[in-house]
Structure 1
């Protein structure tokens, strides 16, 4: 619909939908306010009143198409939960909507304003909360002491997964890499810092 006098939430959704379509079709580098306005059937002033810069509109459009489901995992073990959350994130980032995010991340290298907005608004709040919940359950089961529930420990697996996408430019991270992140880095870090229950003594 391009006619009528759309206002408020209706117009905002039309703009976000148009911006998301432009991101998918042309990437962030090809998305302009003019193109979005034409696709949305509105004028640039209506866009600028809501998003004063292209970076802000790009982030808002990504959030519009991003999966709104809260990530969760409760397999009964710390290892199982960590693998499940990584697999959920990997599935999202390798999807078409994930391609938009990867494009934004690539563009952010040359656009400080976009990078700052990504840090502020696409910081993975729900995902971070899921990792804290994961560690909390591990504490409750006796797999880790309370000291395990701290930001750097919780953030490590996702930082490593982001690194795989950023440094290797892969469309999807192989599952064996996710297993390595958990088994070779995350769990050993917890054990090495004394954040997990000690292993029983050997029978030597």
Structure 2
């Protein structure tokens, strides 16, 4: 069982003192928006797994060896805030992580989030995505979201337990909780 922190005030204190923060969760839940805002408040560089490591233009997946090399270099830095779930790279990221924020919104909220995002950005690459990767919404992606909690949450829990069971984990289950965390951390730096 991960080291869950249930009090958001305690979690905000841990976040404010953490040098390396990992933000994980299902697509459409608000990981990237939260990460961008947290990075501004804490004065920490926001690293997006999608934008910075996973994707090349045209939705071409970066070769795995190159991706892992880039992630290893990034996590070696002294301070970072990284958003992206990718449990297959927990072996690189988790040992260096001081705090995990798990955006764990209900399925319907994540589906609404990706649909709203698609309507706003369809045909264009959003700033949080790699250049040349226009926003898309297809059955495979919707199925991934639909099955996320059942399929991926157990792998996330196992990855945390395997690579750093003592790391504090705050589960954020609503946008209200995300706003509360940001409010507790104060104005952007």
Q: Given the two structures, how large is their TM-score scaled by the length of structure 1?
A: 0.27
Q: Which fold has the larger relative contact order, with Cα–Cα distance below 8 Å and residues 6 or more apart in sequence? A: 2
Q: Larger C-alpha radius of gyration, 1 or 2?
A: 1
Choose between structure 1 and 2: higher strand proportion: 2
Choose between structure 1 and 2: higher helix proportion: 1
Q: Given the two structures, how large is their TM-score scaled by the length of structure 2?
A: 0.28
